Structure 1
Amino acid sequence: MSTQTLAPPAAQERPEDLRALALRHGLGVSGARPALPEYVRQLWARRHFITAFATAKLTAQYSQARLGQVWQVMTPLLNAAVYYVIFGVLMNTRAGVPDFVPFLVTGVFVWTFTSSSIMAGTRAISGNLGLVRALHFPRAALPVALALQQLQQLAFSLCALAGILLCAGVTPGRSWLLAVPALFLQSLFNTGVSLVMARLAARTPDVAQLMPFLLRTWMYVSGVMWSVQHVLAHNHLPHAVLLALECNPAAVYIDLVRFALIDSFTSAQLPPHVWAVATGWALVAAVGGFIWFWKAEETYGRG
């Protein structure tokens, strides 16, 4: 008589049977990536959390410093002072640039908005792993909230910038309103790049150590301390280099804000089709960055 060993009933369950059982009782994979429309809906449903998180981060940013929130304005101002001495005086980049102080300060403030947003996005997932692993929510809420924090900080900086422009003799006008759509497009661009960097840094944390060097290099070629059009007019550069300098998104947004705020910065100093280029960069970065971040939704906080 042969003896047959029977496995326990639970061990005989096939994966297909378990999957069917889970679906029959409304269960799903924990942390599974939802469809893109549903993901957008979930993100919108948490808009109050995003706003509160951004405000809390902004309030706590300089809570240990005696001057507190004053450093939100002092930091770009001190950077502008250093750049003025090194580039404006020692390297004489102010030659041929009317209203160099407003030109420089505007460039520093607008560039700081982009660089700070990207650096914050780089740390969005890796710097909030406890929150990511403890709660279930659309992970895009974190880089979006940090980008919103930088936009809130920009509002303080713009008040200081307006005061500097007035002290430098710049007259307010209706053209100042053009800064609103320019900064809105820049915000979309910053958010999209922040989403891209958040995914990259979540997978490779060393990216956060490399970003300051990349951002510093990007700043030097973005016309923050010098006029792109002045350099292009006095140097015979290859066409590819000229095109790259003119279409550099950071330089495009800086020049648009300068055009809006500074009377001596005219449309002749803007690259061709500048608003189309600014809009294109904003849409490509925002839409492409959001979709690319969403595709890795299931991987954040694991490993």
Structure 2
Amino acid sequence: MSTAAEQTGTSDPAAMAERHGLSKSSLRPPLGSYTRELWSRRQFIVSYARARTYALYAGARLGSLWQILTPILNAAVYYLAFGVLLGTKNGIDNYVAFLLSGIFVFTYTQRSMTEGSRSLALNLSLIRTLHFPRATLPLAYVLNELTQMLVSMGLLLVIVGLTDGISPRWLLVIPALFLQTMFNVGVTLIFARVGTFVSDVSQLLPFVTRTWLYASGIFFSLPAKLTQADAPGWVIHVLSLNPISAYIDIVRRALLDEHVKNQLPHAWAISIAWSFIALVAGFVYFWRAEDRYGRG
């Protein structure tokens, strides 16, 4: 005796769904549609980033004041260790501003990567409950770090203004941070996808970024050191391809008079190239796994 479903030819759920125009909720949308949907969720990204910032300091007695204290304390530690004990400040004018600019720029990328690598894993319940572009989560983490970077940069501008005076070149900080933000979005999307499927990445990243820290000319003038060591020209060009070194260099050019005379070659061109390469590659790489996030 056949059932009613069999008599009407609707025993196959997939065929029934297709006949009524239904599709999988986890189906990856086309790249253009995905981008438009992501743009439509921009208010969520901003709100989520604000909520994370508030939650981060809510339990601290000094609250959001730690947004200013944290970079100052980090800079003080590095100044003591490298500037005083190792003598890297010798020969560099306004070493405090020189050091702070390097630390702030590097920390912006470092924290975007490390925090973003956990952005999906820490929000699995949200991902499995609601349908939305998963890229909103790592983007909110980058926006959260950008807010911290703007606070740090405001502090740096005060220091440079008091020591070197105000200069029209400061306006170049705006495109410099814009390019770095593009780069940060790209690499954060890459590590967000990798961190979702390879949980050990979050444990490995601190060692990778620490090595990157020491190779990026944060505590010393990279062009000056290479020139003093009579390094071949190709060595300088290879080291200047480091994206963090390029972003640090263009920020220092904008803020410090002394650094205008001692700069990495083609830093602006390298910064622009890395920004677009990272953003496009990272966005496409993340999108290609959109239908797999939250499974398992």
Q: Could you say whether these structures have the same fold, taking a TM-score greater than 0.5 normalized by the shorter chain as the test?
A: yes
Shift of residue 8 of structure 1?
6.1
Matched ranges for 1:115-194 at <5 A: 115-167=110-162, 169-194=163-188
CA distance in 2, matches of 1:272, 1:83: 26
CA distance in 1, matches of 2:257, 2:64: 31
Amino acid at match of 2:181: S
CA distance in 2, matches of 1:248, 1:193: 14
- 1:283 corresponds, among 267, 271, 276, to 276
2:204 corresponds to which residue? Answer: 210
CA distance in 2, matches of 1:121, 1:11: 50
Q: Relative to structure 1, is the Cα distance of residues 18 and 224 closer, same or farther in structure 2, using a 3 angstrom cutoff?
A: same
Q: Relative to structure 1, is the Cα distance of residues 185 and 66 closer, same or farther in structure 2, using a 3 angstrom cutoff?
A: same
1:234 corresponds to which residue? Answer: 228
1:3 corresponds to which residue? Answer: none
Q: Relative to structure 1, is the Cα distance of residues 241 and 206 closer, same or farther in structure 2, using a 3 angstrom cutoff?
A: farther
CA distance in 1, matches of 2:270, 2:280: 15
Shift of residue 82 of structure 1?
1.1
Task: Provide the TM-score with structure 1 as the length reference.
Answer: 0.91
2:239 corresponds to which residue? Answer: 245
CA distance in 2, matches of 1:11, 1:83: 74
Of structures 1 and 2, the larger Rg is shown by 1
Gaps of 5+ in 2: none
CA contact (8 A) 1:199 1:293 kept: yes
Matched ranges for 1:3-82 at <5 A: 18-82=13-77
2:251 corresponds to which residue? Answer: 257
Gaps of 5+ in 1: 1-5
Equivalent residue pairs, number: 296
Q: Relative to structure 1, is the Cα distance of residues 226 and 12 closer, same or farther in structure 2, using a 3 angstrom cutoff?
A: farther
CA contact (8 A) 2:217 2:245 kept: yes
- 1:96 corresponds, among 84, 91, 94, to 91
Q: Relative to structure 1, is the Cα distance of residues 20 and 162 closer, same or farther in structure 2, using a 3 angstrom cutoff?
A: same
Task: Provide the TM-score with structure 2 as the length reference.
Answer: 0.94
CA distance in 2, matches of 1:159, 1:264: 20
Q: Deviations over 1:191-237 (max 9, x none)?
A: 11000000000001110111111111111111111111112112254
Identity %: 46
Q: CA RMSD of the aligned region, Å?
A: 2.2
SS in 1 for 2:279: helix
